Structure 1
Amino acid sequence: MYSPIPVLNELKDLYDSTRDYLADGFELHDYDDKGRFPHELDDPAFLSRLIPFAQANGSGSTYAIWRADDEPELARSPIVVFGDEGGEHVVARDFTDFLRLLGFDAEITVGHESAYFYREEDDDHSGSHDRFVEWLRERGLTPAGDPDGVVAAAQEAHGERFRAWITPFYEKIGWA
């Protein structure tokens, strides 16, 4: 079993059965591989609340589940992104919203001030995009038509709380 999240295990099965990207820049990696975070961020209280699971873009940003509370069902926890050049943001309220963002099929851009998805109208879709969209539909989901709206809703629901939680860890290592 890849993870304790059934839909993530299903996504992993789909991912493993394809040769092309399901979504631009998205690659699953070992579940809960804490080595995806910079070595300075080794505080057990920090690491215990974050579960990295995927590469977010071609430059090495990382998606992680943020255990904002003791919700036993991890699929209901927010998804955050850590930029390879800095910046960390809540991007999805839960795993369902995250899957819909992937369906938009664009690499996420992560900066210090924001994270967003952008694709041109005439951009080609990833090689396995159609298969992924069908997989979403089988689960009653559709790709996000407005990824900025999904990210904004996640920020509204969890952004301030995430910033308040992460800031002391960054201050401790001199990053704030």
Structure 2
Amino acid sequence: MIDAYSPVPELNRLREFEERLGGEFISDGFELVEFGEPRHDGWSDAPEFVDGFLPFAYANSSGSLYAFWRIDDRADLATLPIVVFGDEGGIHLTALNLRDLLRQLACDRPLGVDWGGAAFGEYEGHHREAGGQGHETYLAWLEQDFGLTRPDDPNDLVQAATEELGERFTSWVSRYVDI
């Protein structure tokens, strides 16, 4: 795919879906950005740190950023853990993989990020005030295209990622950034 948005087929499908929606949000504050552009290089200029992440989306309306963490050299990037760089500080795991993130987005709750952690808050509904149906359409698309549904609580997936990879992530990131 020469004109593909990214080397991640699932993200390419999401990009195509977002384009069909014509600017409506699929989830509170979520917006794809240019894949892999180093928007996180202000945290550390160490090449290992910058190359260790592949940014792909804004996580909230204030500028926090989702990125794949290159925990290893696996070929299927969609299976890499997802982290968020907080616009007000903090770098935290949010999902074990892209499919978990897609499920979190199905909850349509804003992600708050600071030095203390990352957590999905209660629904604020800013993007629905204009009457858009992007989120409802996303839910149907997610189930039809991926067989995925929303979790009862998106924070359960944050906790699962943190329990499985938190110590390893903290150890790796702390070589480059004071966290």
Question: So what's the TM-score if we normalise by structure 2?
Answer: 0.89
Using the aligned pairs only, state the percent identity. 42
Aligned pairs (5 A) from 1:10-29? 10-18=13-21, 19-29=23-33
Q: Which residue of 2 aligns with 1:164?
A: 171
CA contact (8 A) 1:105 1:125 kept: no
CA contact (8 A) 2:106 2:139 kept: yes
Q: Which residue of 2 aligns with 1:48?
A: 51
Task: Determine whether 1:103 maps to 2:103.
Answer: no
> Measured at CA, do residues 29 and 151 of structure 1 come closer, stay the same or move farther in structure 2, by a change above 3 Å?
same
CA RMSD of aligned residues (A): 1.6
Per-residue CA deviations over 1:102-121 (Å, capped at 9, x if unaligned) read 1110110001111111225x
Look up the equivalent residue of 1:161 and give its one-letter code.
R
Q: Which residue of 2 aligns with 1:79?
A: 82
> Measured at CA, do residues 24 and 54 of structure 1 come closer, stay the same or move farther in structure 2, by a change above 3 Å?
same
Shift of 1:39: 2.9
Q: Which residue of 1 aligns with 2:149?
A: 142
Counterpart-to-counterpart distance in 2, 1:153 and 1:32? 25
User: Gaps spanning 5+ residues in structure 1: where?
Assistant: none
Counterpart-to-counterpart distance in 2, 1:124 and 1:47? 32
Shift of 1:69: 1.0
Per-residue CA deviations over 1:144-167 (Å, capped at 9, x if unaligned) read 221111110010111111110000
Look up the equivalent residue of 2:52 and give its one-letter code.
R
User: Gaps spanning 5+ residues in structure 2: where?
Assistant: none
Q: How many residues align structurally?
A: 170
Counterpart-to-counterpart distance in 1, 2:126 and 2:40? 31
Q: Which residue of 2 aligns with 1:60?
A: 63
User: Match of 2:174, SS?
Assistant: helix
Counterpart-to-counterpart distance in 2, 1:24 and 1:32? 22
User: Match of 2:68, SS?
Assistant: strand
User: Match of 2:83, SS?
Assistant: strand
Look up the equivalent residue of 1:157 and give its one-letter code.
E
Question: So what's the TM-score if we normalise by structure 1?
Answer: 0.91
Counterpart-to-counterpart distance in 2, 1:27 and 1:124? 14
CA contact (8 A) 2:28 2:126 kept: no
Q: Which residue of 2 aligns with 1:37?
A: 40
User: Match of 1:71, SS?
Assistant: coil
